[in-house]
């Protein structure tokens, strides 16, 4: 069998060499035998076209070829090329399938990653929302803390008001008791006078009319020269609170004890007032520092004021005084307008009263201050007056003189501001921060109506003490402050 195969192969090679064709080796594969049969048939068909050549037909068994096979490379090989292309296409298809699967896997990964990115974005958005919410809650907490502090401050102010009212009630009670004792004393005097009169009448009836000897009088109280009523005494008996009713009528003089003898001819009476200011009272001979009744010119307004007749040269009308913190100066507009406090202690005369006083003549302002170490300084301004309420009591000051430093000129030309009437140039309300009423600018170089702190240096959220910035600074609360005015004829508006 093997020799037959070799002989057929040799014949086939000889025929191929006869036609002068080139050969090509094929590697054995599973389809070599079918290709070999197909190639023989093709050559038979090609030989039929040639009429001068013989044809040969070989019948060989279809078996697996393991060796090399020679073929003609010049003839067309559509089957081989087609098969090669088919294999390449299949390889490409397999590669494409692999790449497609990889692309699908990548797409799945991208979709998963995209979902993660979206979740991260959502988490970031939620984080921002939570941060904004936390910020809002923090701001609400701050507002609540501030509101509670304000409520605590208002509560302390109400407590101070209650304490002030309690103290005033005690003072009124004591004064009422004094008045009751004085009334009883006067009643006993009147009873004694009635008894004396009755005794005199009996004695006159019993005495003969021819008797020329003067009748011996029973012992009487020493006679005094009749003087007009002293309003200092009246005011000491009455309350020291500034009267809310500014249309106070002049009280009639009390009836003196009936004199039994005529007064001395060489005694001169002092005018009883009211006066236009404390200087006029001093000129009329009243040189005692006390409470006086004043009636400014061009008005029917009567007011009680404290006159300082001892401070050189005297005649000073006190418009403000701070000395012990017994009066709360954190008040509203109406209270500052009409005045408040105790005239013989801490008090504010009232913007309307100050306006009428300072517009009847040319007045100067003196501010005396004392710190907690006993150091005393002063600041004097050559002119001082207020505009009417329609101008919100705008401040008008003259030139400065003194040793305290000028901390008031910065407020010149500014309107008065309280907690409920904001007239300062600051965006907020200076009275809220300074805890008082003043001619605030933006806000203050001086704050003499602020909170009276004991000991000097104080710790507060704002500069709300009684301070004069040029003297001990804004964080030092002064011990004593007095603002007083006096006519200054050498200065004009």
Q: What is the pLDDT of residues 63-86, one digit of tens each?
A: 555 656 555 555 555 565 677 778
List, for residues 3-17, the tens digit of each pLDDT value. 444 544 555 544 454
Is there a domain that residue 254 lies in?
no
Is there a domain that residue 305 lies in?
yes
Is there a domain that residue 222 lies in?
no
Q: Higher model confidence: residue 256 or residue 115?
A: 115
The pairing of strands 290-294 and 303-308 is antiparallel
Domain interval for residue 338:
238-248+271-487
Backbone region of residue 139 per phi and psi (left: phi > 0; alpha: psi in -120 to 50; beta: other values):
alpha
Q: Among 76, 110, 135, give the residue marking a domain's end.
A: 76
Q: Is the domain of 288 the same as that of 435?
A: yes
pLDDT category of residue 293 using cuts at 50, 70 and 90: very high
Q: Is the domain of 377 the same as that of 478?
A: yes
Rounded Cα gap, residues 163 and 489, in angstroms: 43
Q: Among 76, 104, 137, give the residue marking a domain's end.
A: 76
Q: Are 396 and 413 in contact (CB under 8 A)?
A: yes
Least reliable range by pLDDT among 130-134, 269-273, 489-493:
489-493
List, for residues 305-334, the tens digit of each pLDDT value. 999 999 888 999 999 999 999 999 999 999
Angle at 103 between CA 99 and CA 107, to 5 degrees: 170
Any idea what the CATH number is for the domain that residue 358 is in?
Answer: 3.90.215.10
Rounded Cα gap, residues 25 and 22, in angstroms: 10
Q: Is the domain of 454 the same as that of 427?
A: yes
> At 381, which helix (H) or strand (E)?
strand 376-381
List, for residues 208-255, the tens digit of each pLDDT value. 654 444 444 444 444 333 333 343 433 333 334 444 433 333 333 333
Is there a domain that residue 231 lies in?
no
pLDDT category of residue 382 using cuts at 50, 70 and 90: very high
Rounded Cα gap, residues 337 and 350, in angstroms: 5
Q: Is the domain of 91 the same as that of 190?
A: yes
Q: Look up the pTM and report it.
A: 0.49
Q: Is the domain of 69 the same as that of 148?
A: no
Q: Quote the number of domains for the chain.
A: 3
């Amino acid at each position: 069998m093997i020799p037959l195969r070799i002989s057929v192969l040799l014949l086939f090679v000889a025929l191929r060499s006869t036609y002068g064709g080139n050969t090509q080796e094929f590697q054995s594969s599973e389809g070599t035998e079918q290709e070999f049969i197909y190639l023989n048939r093709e050559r038979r068909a090609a030989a039929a076209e040639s009429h001068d050549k013989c044809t040969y037909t070989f019948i060989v068994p279809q078996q697996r070829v393991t060796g090399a096979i020679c073929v003609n490379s010049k003839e067309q090989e559509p089957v081989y090329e087609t098969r090669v292309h088919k294999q390449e296409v299949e390889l490409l298809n397999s590669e494409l399938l692999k790449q497609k699967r990889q692309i699908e896997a990548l797409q799945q990964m991208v979709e998963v990653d995209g979902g993660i990115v979206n979740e991260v974005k959502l988490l970031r958005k939620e984080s921002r929302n939570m941060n904004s919410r936390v910020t809002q809650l923090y701001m609400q907490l701050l507002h609540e803390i501030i509101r509670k502090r304000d409520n605590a401050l208002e509560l302390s102010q109400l407590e101070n008001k209650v304490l002030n009212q309690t103290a005033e009630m005690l003072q009124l009670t004591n004064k009422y008791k004094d008045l009751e004792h004085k009334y009883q004393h006067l009643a006993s005097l009147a009873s004694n006078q009635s008894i004396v009169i009755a005794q005199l009448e009996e004695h006159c009836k019993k005495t003969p009319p021819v008797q020329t000897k003067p009748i011996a009088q029973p012992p009487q109280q020493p006679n005094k020269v009749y003087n007009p009523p002293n309003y200092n005494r009246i005011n000491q008996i009455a309350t020291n609170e500034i009267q809310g009713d500014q249309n106070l009528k002049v009280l009639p003089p009390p009836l003196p004890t009936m004199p039994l003898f005529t007064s001395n001819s060489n005694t001169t009476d002092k005018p009883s007032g009211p006066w236009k200011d404390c200087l006029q009272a001093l000129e009329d001979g009243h040189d005692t520092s006390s409470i006086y009744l004043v009636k400014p010119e061009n008005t029917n307004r009567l007011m009680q004021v404290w006159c300082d007749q001892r401070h050189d040269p005297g005649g000073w009308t006190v418009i403000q005084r701070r000395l012990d913190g017994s009066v709360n100066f954190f008040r509203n507009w109406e209270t500052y307008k009409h005045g408040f406090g105790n005239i013989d202690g801490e008090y504010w005369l009232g913007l309307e009263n100050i306006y009428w006083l300072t517009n009847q003549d040319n007045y100067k302002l003196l501010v005396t201050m004392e710190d907690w170490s006993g150091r005393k300084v002063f600041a004097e301004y050559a002119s001082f007056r207020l505009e009417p309420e329609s101008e919100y009591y705008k401040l008008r000051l003259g030139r400065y003189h003194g040793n305290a430093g000028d901390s008031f000129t910065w407020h010149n030309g500014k309107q008065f501001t309280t907690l409920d009437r904001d007239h300062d140039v600051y965006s907020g309300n200076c009275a809220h921060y300074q805890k008082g009423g003043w001619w605030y600018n933006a806000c203050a170089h001086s704050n003499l109506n602020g909170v009276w702190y004991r000991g000097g240096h104080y710790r507060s959220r704002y500069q709300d003490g009684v301070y004069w910035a040029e003297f001990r600074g804004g964080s030092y609360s002064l011990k004593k402050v007095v603002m007083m005015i006096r006519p200054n004829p050498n200065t004009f508006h």
